[in-house]
């Protein structure tokens, strides 16, 4: 998934000026990148950066991945799209995809994920929220780290997914 997303994020139409991404587009970028694996941004609206270029509060939250792909999104404030992988057994979720931004609207991020995972909106906003989608194989999170608002997908391991599906299958749908 990381290799595929890399090519898609960096593709796009050529433009004369560097396009700036507005805050209302960030939740859509998160959804297309992390839930659909197909983010398409105009050339110049995101640039690859090294993991160490992430601000301290984000690097601290993400720990020490085995591999990473990070893009700085061209916004008025700081925004980053990231894909990280951890060594097997070192982290409960070995693959993460997220978007962290100073100016992302947390309510829009919650609505984006909640609509996708549950099919409805409850408008029950908490400072940190999460949803489990065992059928799709992920746990979605909206939270914060320092000044950054974060929307993130934690991909479940095969064993985590199997355990979650056992519980899910016992619930009357």
C-alpha 27/C-alpha 168 separation (Å) is 27
Q: Check pLDDT > 60 for residue 173.
A: no
DSSP state, 35?
I
Tens of pLDDT along 121-171? Answer: 887 788 789 988 888 888 899 999 999 999 999 988 888 888 888 887 877
Residue 143's SS3 state is: strand
Interatomic CA distance for residues 37 and 98, integer angstroms: 12
Mean pLDDT of all residues in 109-123? 85
pTM for the whole thing?
A: 0.82
Query: Are 103 and 20 within 8 A, CB to CB?
Result: no
What distance in Å separates the CA atoms of residue 155 and residue 97, rounded to the nearest whole number? 8
Residues 62-76, mean pLDDT to the nearest whole number: 93
Tokens linked to 105: 């609207």
Band of residue 81 on the pLDDT scale cut at 50, 70, 90:
very high
CA gap 95, 84 in Å, rounded: 6
Task: Give the residue extent of every domain in the chain.
Answer: 2-170
What are residue 18's phi and psi, to 5 degrees? Answer: -70, 115
pLDDT band at 65 (very low <50, low <70, confident <90, very high): very high
């Amino acid at each position: 998934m990381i290799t595929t997303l890399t090519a898609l994020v960096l593709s796009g139409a050529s433009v004369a000026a560097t396009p700036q991404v507005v805050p209302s587009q960030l939740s859509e970028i998160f959804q297309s990148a992390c839930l659909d694996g197909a983010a398409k941004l105009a050339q110049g609206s995101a640039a690859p950066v090294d993991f160490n270029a992430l601000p301290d509060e984000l690097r601290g939250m993400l720990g020490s991945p085995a591999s990473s792909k990070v893009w700085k999104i061209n916004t008025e404030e700081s925004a980053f799209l990231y894909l990280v992988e951890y060594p097997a057994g070192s982290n409960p979720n070995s693959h993460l995809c997220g978007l962290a931004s100073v100016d992302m609207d947390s309510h829009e991020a919650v609505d984006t994920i909640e609509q996708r995972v549950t099919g409805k909106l409850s408008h029950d906003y908490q400072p940190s929220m999460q949803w489990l989608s065992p059928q799709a194989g992920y746990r979605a999170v909206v939270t914060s780290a320092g000044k950054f608002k974060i929307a993130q997908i934690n991909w479940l391991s095969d064993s985590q997914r199997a355990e979650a599906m056992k519980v899910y299958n016992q619930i009357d749908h």
